[in-house]
Amino acid sequence: MARKTKTPLPREVTKRRLARWQQERRRRRITIGIGTLVIVATLAIIIWGVYATIIAPGKERVATVGDRHLTVANYETTLRLSPTLQTSAEDTLMALVNFELIRQGAEELGLEVTDDEIVQEMRESFTGEDEEELTDEELLRRYNETLKYLRVSSEQFKEALATQVLAQKIEEHVKGEVPEAGELIPHVHLQAIAVTTEEEAGNITERLEGGEDFASLAAEYEGGDMGWVPQGIMSLEIEKFAFSPESGNVTKYFATAEGYSVVQVVDTMEERALEEGVREQLEISAYGYWLEVQLEKKLKWRVAEEKLEQIHMEAMNRIMGG
């Protein structure tokens, strides 16, 4: 007769065993918790590293134009689109600011760009002087090669082309607003002397204020009587001085692209007929004058020069490093 197998009695869970299980369970939870924290911390470090080295620098502000903040990412795109990477930090920043002034100004003037106009601008940009008109296939090939070479997106490149078209439209618009010859507009009678250094400009100003003759100093340096000058030809800074009510018989010097200019107002503002030759000069300077007015009105903030140089070097390193 087969022997019956004894069913083992259930083992009693002692208080000591229960405490041991609870300790083990707590130990596992702590281990899992620590492991999870390590993983989360590692991911956080990686994510922060990406943000701190790639995303955050791109969002750093370099200028504020109107209500728009321009960032390092915008700066780097402008640098990539420059004809040459030898462009200075200051020139790159001003190109970026001017592009934004053009976009905002065009919107205020109700000027727009069509897709056909962008394609035509692209076609003209990619066609050499002695080349025949490009086929659509050749245009597309050169376009793709340019994007690859500059390492910019199609949207960024098309936006740059659109801005060029808008600049042309704004230039045509402001030229059309130049008064006709013979129309009465404000003029001031000026004399000016051009020098290369601020020290020379200050010395000439002191000599004039001391009673020396302007014509004699003009013969000694470079300058003379400019005659009656209307608004829109001089720089905005000089114009504000010349057309202010207190400017009569006052001498002041200003920094210019070539050096310094010592300006004296002989006669204050009066309405005079616009001469045809002067009107042509106003047409030539109309777009630059418009841009200068927009710059003064809308540039709210810009990065300091030292910081700009650092941003420029870092952008250059990213571009050259691929």
**What is the residue extent of each domain of the chain?**
61-177+300-320, 184-273
Greater pLDDT, 4 or 118: 118
- Which of 234, 244, 214, 224 is CA-nearest to residue 278? 234
- Which of 235, 238, 280 is CA-nearest to residue 262? 238
Q: What per-residue confidence (pLDDT) applies to 26? A: 56
Does the domain spanning 184-273 belong to CATH 3.10.50.40? Answer: yes
> Which residues are 228's β-sheet partners?
189
In a 10 Å sphere around its CB, with 0-12 CB exposed, 13-18 middle and 19+ buried, how is residue 95 labelled? middle
Number of other residues whose CB lies within 10 A of the CB of residue 113: 19
Of 26-30, 149-153, 216-220, 300-304, where does mean pLDDT reach its minimum? 26-30
Q: Which two three-digit tokens encode residue 80? A: 């990539």
pLDDT in tens, 146-202: 999 999 999 999 999 999 999 999 999 999 999 999 999 999 999 999 999 999 999
- Which of 38, 15, 18, 37 is CA-nearest to residue 26? 18
Measured in residues, the chain has a length of 322
CA distance 119 to 158: 9
Q: What one-letter code names the amino acid at 118?
A: I
Contact yes or no for 284/234 (Cβ under 8 A): no
- Which of 146, 145, 230 is CA-nearest to residue 189? 230
pLDDT at 52 > cutoff 70: no
